[in-house]
Amino acid sequence: MAIVGARIDNRLLHGIVATSWAPDSNATRVMVVDDRVANDPQKKQAMKLGRPSGMAVSIITKQKALTNFKDHKYDRQKVFIVSQTPDIFLNLIEQGEKISELILGGTLTFDDAIRVTKRAYIKPEQVNTYKEIIAKGCKIISKYVPQDDSVDVAEALDNKKAGA
């Protein structure tokens, strides 16, 4: 099994993920990890309509994702994971999964958040999670689309501010 892509995006599976990020990663499966969507049949069905051509889609809870990876369910697949928060990625790394790079895409804005780019913000209560992911050897960059220049999230956290 290979996690070939990992992205934090408040919209989860949407056009840019389906047409750029997932195909560019050569994934065979897009995995949306979100408890709220996974437990809402209407939202889950609507999100499945955005399935990238030729790829399987899983929309599952955080616990189900951790269990499935632990049970080696995806060993023969290339998985692109998208979630709204960084905690699932830290949990997967702590469980022994290899994630070499995490992309911070579009997030919601928050009054007291650290601005990484004009589309990406980190809540104060998430700072330690991001730092732990980085400390475990995973590079975190921020890009909205693959063609954007990369912004190093570690630098943004160190500076408590970020670039354009």
CA angle 76, 20, 11 (to 5 degrees): 95
Q: How far apart are CA 22 and CA 129, in angstroms?
A: 24
Q: Where are the domains of the chain?
A: 2-102+124-150
Between 57 and 53, the higher pLDDT residue: 57
What is the per-residue pLDDT across 104-135, written as a single tens digit (0 to 9) for each? 999 988 888 999 999 999 999 999 999 999 99
Q: How far apart are CA 149 and CA 141, in angstroms?
A: 9
Please tell me the CATH code under which domain 2-102+124-150 is placed: 3.40.35.10
Q: How far apart are CA 98 and CA 7, in angstroms?
A: 14
Residue with tokens 């943004």: 156
- Whether the CB-CB separation of 83 and 32 falls below 8 Å is answered with yes
Phi, psi of 99 (to 5 degrees): -130, 105
What is the per-residue pLDDT across 37-53, written as a single tens digit (0 to 9) for each? 999 999 999 999 888 88
The pLDDT of residue 2 is 83
The pLDDT of residue 1 is 53
What is the per-residue pLDDT across 9-38, written as a single tens digit (0 to 9) for each? 999 999 899 999 999 999 999 999 999 999
pTM: 0.93
